[in-house]
Amino acid sequence: MRFEFWMLLVATTLALGCTDGGNGSPPCVDNDLDGYGDFCALGLDCDDADIDNWASCDSCVDTDGDSHFVGCDAFTTRLGPDCDPADGSTFIGAAAIEGPSACMTDGDGDGYGSTVAPMDGIAGTDCDDVDPNSFVTCDGSCQDADGDSFYVGCDAYASVEGPDCDDTDPYVSPGEPELADDAIDNDCDGSDLVAAMGPGVYVDNGNVSCTDSGEGSQSTPYCSLAPAIYDASVSTSNVFVTGGDYAVSNVRTSGSIPLRIYGGYDALWNRDLDSEVTNIDTEGAPSTVGLSCSQPVCIIDGVHVSRVNPAAINYGDVVFYVEEFGAFTRSTLTVETGDQFHFSIGTPEDNASISRAVVRDVDVRSTGRTPVVIGQLDYITLENSRISTEYASTSSVSLSVLNGNRVALRNNALHASGNGQVYLVELNGTDAISDVVNNSFSAPAGSFSAALRVRNHAELRLVNNAMEAGTPVSILTFAAAPTPQLTLRNNMMGDAAGVSTLSQFLFTTEGEYFDAAEINGCTACFDTGGNVDGDPEFPDPRGGDFSLSAGSPGIDGGVDPAAFVDWQSFAVDIDGFPRPVDGDGSLTAEWDIGAQEN
């Protein structure tokens, strides 16, 4: 019994000692399981937490930042080895589509290799290795001809939007809101929105079956706008309205569904904007909003907006108010404001945080001091619109743009007259950048102060604008120092009585410039040239006719704005006619100065 116990003890002791490999050495410590480590048979490990390195911990590097390494002992968790450690766009698999296992250069990251082979690799087929949108077709067909930021003819749409279903129309693209019954597929979804087909809610106060407690169908429409607007803001988003007079007061909407109001329909839901006039009267209690929209997209199209009793309105009242993305497009929106209220986009009553407003094809006629206010937005675009104000006393501003970081005014026509100080446009931002392109400004009578008054801008670019003044202090005034980086190209400035009565064209805190020659030689400006003196000779600016009379220096006197602003030029003028065209018989199509192309 004693002998058996001793033998068992010896055997157990020998078994426990076998972890040294049987030769009496300490056990191998290999934490990263690469076969190397302290007391391991293959050798020591310089970094026992890195499976790729045991002898080359200092040489395993990614020198060009392409996530492919060289100098490693293994490439288990790392990519490599890098076939060109000095070029971050060259490595095995760089052209992931064309050569996933080949050493190629793909400078634009489109998956296709450069036609120039790297030293230790092969050439690819990418004909333009700096443009991720072109790799097969590099003949310039990848373009945005109509300037709406949507491209056609590209091999891919990696860094640009597209494809555009109509690259000849800037108001047709996948990013454009669909408008009803215009026989145009505005949003490129393959069809037009037709009221008779729906979807939508319907308003017809002339229908004997109308009711505000119904479903708003074609056969049983709503009688008034308010319930239809609330219904659409939570369901179909489209409101179709027949011709007639409708009233809204303090109607406010919110939610995630776009709101679109389309007027001008007959009883069978055919659209006739000429004979079926949808008038929205926004009369209400003093200091109220007629209609407020805070949807992600707000469209009002083919209607006339007015106040029936402007005498009951206090200053600051708003005819139509949009808190977010306002798109007023394609057909007709006419706004008539009284003495003390205005049409407002994006000036939030409750300091709402908003980002973008696009206002198009709006006709605003006013006797008020500030008929149009757009502000508190990151991006503001006003285009193809006419604004006219007849304010008889004190000062007035036809268009006030407040705190817009990025502003584009293009193809607009503004007219003002009055007995006080008149400013056609006031741009007030914080380090703002504004492009003012192909606009027409006219104030032929009254004590005129400036066509444009500018505050707090980093950059201002004026291209192809026609400016007519009565007795101006200046055409362009900067109200505070310093003057921004200023581009003045191919503008025409004058007055109805002749250019000799101009006090000055440009007034800045650093200096004054009295005519086009001085402007063209402005050394303090960033870029100038092509500016001309002369009366634009608008036939009837009060009536909305801003065409250039025969002999005007503005005919073919402009320049393609795309060379001076950040967006491509629109191929149409304020009325939708193509531009540029040959206006002087030279057989060469040139841009006109101003909003209308002759």
Using one digit for the tens of pLDDT, what is the confidence trace for 496-525? 554 433 345 676 666 677 778 888 888 878
69 occurs within a structural domain: no
pLDDT exceeds 60 at position 343: no
Tens digit of each residue's pLDDT (9 = 90 or more) over 583-595: 888 889 999 999 9
Co-location of 331 and 406 in the same domain: no
- Please indicate, yes or no, if residue 89 is contained in any of the structural domains: no
Average pLDDT score over residue span 11-31: 58
* Residues 322 and 211 reside in one and the same domain: yes
**Is 23 part of a structural domain of the chain?**
no
Confidence of residue 473 (pLDDT cuts 50, 70, 90): low
What is the total count of domains within the chain? Answer: 2
Residue 2 is assigned to a structural domain of this protein: no
Cβ contacts of residue 34 below 8 Å, gap of 6+?
Answer: 45, 51, 52, 54, 73, 74, 76
Q: For the chain, what percent of residues have pLDDT higher than 90?
A: 37
- DSSP of 557-580: ----GGGTSSSPPPSB-TTS-BSS
Instruction: Check residue 392 and give its pLDDT.
Output: 64
Clarify whether residues 347 and 444 are in a common domain.
no
Q: Are 388 and 274 members of one domain?
A: no
Question: Do 235 and 331 lie in a common domain?
Answer: yes
Residue 177, in any domain of the structure: no
Does residue 183 lie in a domain region? Answer: no
The answer on 228 and 328 residing in a single domain is yes
| Across 48-57, 106-115, 508-517, least confident range | 508-517
Lowest-pLDDT range of 171-175, 273-277, 319-323: 319-323
Based on the fold, state whether residues 349 and 388 are members of the same structural domain.
Answer: no
User: Which bin fits 160, alpha (ψ -120 to 50), beta or left (φ > 0)?
Assistant: beta
384 in the same domain as 330: no
pLDDT at 286: 47
- Tell me the C-alpha distance between 452 and 445, whole Å: 16
Examine the domain organization and report whether 327 and 426 are in the same domain: no
* Angstrom distance (rounded) from CA 205 to CA 279: 12
Range of the domain at 434: 378-598
Burial letters 246-283, b for 16+ CB under 10 A, else e = bbbeebebebebbbbbbbbbeeebebebeebbbbbbbb
* One-letter identity of residue 254: S
CA distances from 512 to 117, 286, 304, 476 (A): 58, 44, 43, 10
State the pLDDT at residue 274. Answer: 81
Q: Do 396 and 358 sit in the same domain of this protein?
A: no
Q: For residues 568 and 359, which has the higher predicted lDDT (pLDDT)? A: 359
359: its two tokens: 């206002």
Q: What is the average pLDDT value for the chain, to the nearest integer?
A: 78
Asked whether residue 356 falls in the same domain as residue 400, the answer is no
Predicted confidence at residue 321, as pLDDT, reads 44
332 and 444 belong to one structural domain: no
Residue where a domain stops, chosen among 301, 330, 362: 362
**pLDDT tens, position by position, 533-559:** 887 878 888 788 899 888 888 999 999
Report if residue 121 sits inside a domain. no
45 falls within a domain = no
Give the pLDDT mean for 69-77.
94
